[in-house]
Amino acid sequence: MAMAANEIEALIKAALPDARITVEDLAGDGDHYAATVVSETFRGISRVKQHQIVYAALRGRMGGELHALALQTSAPE
């Protein structure tokens, strides 16, 4: 079961409404994505915590519908 890029974006946007999100399908298979997420929520917290917030937004789909997600997260400059 693959996941569409717009689905990933919608789940992240629901958890982080202010986020600027780009999602790229790396292999064209709907299983391997790269995402960049920029949100004020990330200001002052560790990169690990930022990634945990994004993974939580995906509601357990990592490792199932979504096999791999390379993340870049940051607060706005």
> Over the stretch 22-76, which tens digit does the pLDDT of each residue have?
999 998 888 889 999 999 999 999 999 999 999 999 988 887 888 889 999 999 9
Spatial distance between the Cα atoms of 27 and 61, rounded to a whole number of angstroms: 18
Domain tally, the chain: 1
**Vertex 14: Cα angle to 47 and 8 (nearest 5):** 70
Helices (H), 17-74: 47-57
- Domain span holding position 36: 5-74
Report pLDDT digits (tens) over 43-52. Answer: 999 999 999 9
Report the CATH number that the domain containing residue 55 is assigned in CATH: 3.30.300.90
Q: Which residues contact 67 (CB under 8 A, 6 or more apart)?
A: 31, 32
- The CA-CA-CA angle for residues 60, 49, 10, to 5°, reads 45
Query: What SS3 class is residue 27?
Result: coil
* Whether pLDDT at 1 is above 80: no
